[in-house]
Amino acid sequence: MNPDHVRVSVVIPTHNEAQSIGRVLADLPANIVTEVLVVDSNSTDGTPEIAAKMGARVLHEPRRGYGRACLTGLAAATNPDVVVFLDGDYSDRPAELPLLLAPITEGRADITLGSRLQSGRSAGALPWHQVFGNRLAAGLIGLLYGLRITDLGPFRAARADVLRRVELKENTYGWAVEIILKGTLRGFRIVEVPVSYYPRIGKSKISGTLRGTVGAAWFILSLIVRYYFRHRRAGMPRPA
């Protein structure tokens, strides 16, 4: 894949991110990104208007669910070679996007995951229960699927043809692991890349509440187990 001719679409789900979306869009490397799709879920603080003024293509997705927003953006992307998914809260740094693209454009990976736990992160950026949950999920993936990763971070990239082949469907919390599980089961190369991480601007819709944290953890862990046994029942060999 020639890095000078790669079409890169960036999908950013948002809900009331007016304080941060401007910084996110301003920091995206303009010489690399082909298009930016902000998928907004009923924001009431002017997030879509800010994004549109800064040149993003704004899609309104009234149905709830982080995964649903990502799928809506993916479906609307204009003939990309690579699709990048990024949160709109400025906890990840959009300027580090080339770190995620490099393994793909160099032919070393089909999917890249930004790991917040491999690199330096700002104090307080991830609460202890979120660190624990991510490590637990990553450990379970390693045990059942043989893929060694450290984190389920939201900053990630994948070849567009791979995204089509894995047929993503999860609308809510399962989005965090679906591409990892299906990608591994289908033999695609998944590579982690250390990325920096900072406290988000505004309150988290998931880790900021007890209900969100417990709900996300249960859903993700149960999905990892369900996919594994579904794979076993299909009579397919376990990935090496």
Instruction: Give the CATH number for residue 172.
Output: 3.90.550.10
Q: pLDDT band at residue 232, thresholds of 50, 70 and 90?
A: confident
Q: How far apart are CA 24 and CA 175, in angstroms?
A: 21
Looking at the domain assignment, is residue 238 inside a domain?
no
pLDDT tens track for 112-141: 999 987 765 555 556 667 778 888 899 999
Domain holding 178, by residue range, is 3-233
Least confident range of 3-12, 76-85, 117-126: 117-126
Looking at the domain assignment, is residue 40 inside a domain?
yes
Sheet holding 190-194, edge to edge: 57-60, 35-40, 8-14, 82-85, 156-159, 111-115, 190-194
Looking at the domain assignment, is residue 240 inside a domain?
no
Number of domains in the chain: 1
Round the CA-based radius of gyration of the chain to a whole number and report it.
17
Looking at the domain assignment, is residue 97 inside a domain?
yes
Residue 210 has what pLDDT? Answer: 57
- In terms of C-beta density within 10 A (0-12 exposed, 13-18 middle, 19 or more buried), how is residue 35 classed? middle
Q: How far apart are CA 177 and CA 41, in angstroms?
A: 21
Residues in the chain, total:
240
pLDDT tens track for 139-169: 999 999 999 999 998 999 999 999 999 999 9
Looking at the domain assignment, is residue 239 inside a domain?
no
Greater model confidence, 173 or 181: 181
Looking at the domain assignment, is residue 199 inside a domain?
yes
Greater model confidence, 125 or 104: 104
Greater model confidence, 67 or 135: 67
Looking at the domain assignment, is residue 165 inside a domain?
yes
Looking at the domain assignment, is residue 145 inside a domain?
yes
